[in-house]
Amino acid sequence: MIRLIYVVLLVLSFTAAAVQAKTLLILGDSLSAGYGLSQQQSWVYLLQQKLDQQASDWTLVNASISGETSGGGLARLPALLEQHQPDYVLIELGANDGLRGFPIPQLESNLNKMAEHIKQQDSKAVLMQIRIPPNYGPRYTTQFTNLYPKVAEQQQIPLWPFFMETIALKQHWMQADGLHPNLDAQPVIADLMLPLVLSLE
């Protein structure tokens, strides 16, 4: 009888742990893929370490690819959702769309479709604000920037601040290309992202 009770308690403890465990899929571009760095040097890897140190139940899955556009992310999303079945998906995309001057309505459509597909798969979407350099002209740049809160409001999903707003202001945190965060910036980004991840239910 005692042995049976022990087995039941053991099963219940494993079940509770499984229920509490949460997965965040990061669907991003080179800013999250750790461009020019090893995987172990990227902010996503460092953030996972910080979460583990806090005995957090979060598991991060980094599905970011350098050069990824919103269209590419939309195309890859169904397979990623099926494979990982995440609780949340962080959409960190659009920078490459902007840098290539893609039409704003096309980006808006792709972001909306990603959020809707995530919801349909019983997951929750989170959108990161993205900004582009001002040299694309005030009209395009303003439309691009304003698109993200618009999509977040339409989809009723959280809008996270763009971590590059802090990093890009410091030259010593940027790679020589002026676009990508360097090795020293990665732990700073991890620190910025930690409370955001922990704020998710």
The catalytic residues are 30, 177, 180
- Residues 46 and 190 sit within 8 Å (Cβ to Cβ): yes
- Residues 123 and 86 sit within 8 Å (Cβ to Cβ): yes
Residue 59: alpha-carbon gap to chain centroid: 12
Helical H runs in 104-184?
Answer: 104-120, 138-155, 164-167
Within 10 angstroms of residue 145's Cβ, the number of other Cβ atoms is 16
